[in-house]
Amino acid sequence: MIESIDNRLYIIGKPPEPTRSVLRDLFVRLAQEAGGTPNPEPRLTIQAIYGLHLAEVVQERVETVVRDLPPIHVRASGLIAFALRTPHQRLVIPVEKTPALRYIYQVIAEEVESLGVPTQPFDLETWQPHMTAVEGDWEDAEAVARQLAPQVPEIQFLIDRLWMSVLRAPGTWMELGIWPLRGRLPDEHPDRGT
């Protein structure tokens, strides 16, 4: 049986090297100044799936969807407070919600939800893709984010593969599957070819 601290499967994209190392260093610097804990593994969560008990079936379904998709261009900048889980707060780098990113988020959700397995509780409008930089407990996380935001450069990278992972312990991930992105978006998609 697969063990997870939150009973979820995550579909994630990771920045390639050297971008990943640059982000790790940035997260450490931000954590030192903010008084928090740096995220040890820079990643972009595309989808969270509440179906750990169906991991094998979900993995097969997601693979059929993503294997024909193109690499994803990621653009991110700034720093905002993101208090989704209490008491922990997060300082995150917002990622631009491009048509290609919106498409992959939605198509994975539709495929997985057709199995009766719920995904993240965000629709396309409320979903805010991001990379978590620092976790902590601040009296005014928004003020900390505003103070540190100028230190975050504009970030661009290409995700050329996706992983299905579980969170085994805080900061400890186990990869269950990996899929290269080698295809292209459907002809009718507005972001086709980018």
Q: Which long-range contacts (CB under 8 A, 24 or more apart) does 79-85 make?
A: 79/30, 79/133, 79/145, 79/148, 79/149, 79/151, 79/152, 80/130, 80/142, 80/145, 80/149, 81/138, 81/141, 81/142, 81/144, 81/145, 82/128, 82/130, 82/132, 83/141
**Residues 55-92: pLDDT tens digits?**
999 999 999 988 888 899 999 999 999 866 656 789 99
**Residues 123-176: pLDDT tens digits?**
888 999 999 999 999 989 999 999 999 999 999 999 999 999 999 887 788 999
Q: Which domains does the chain carry?
A: 9-180 (3.90.1140.10)
Tell me the whole-structure pTM to 2 decimals.
0.88
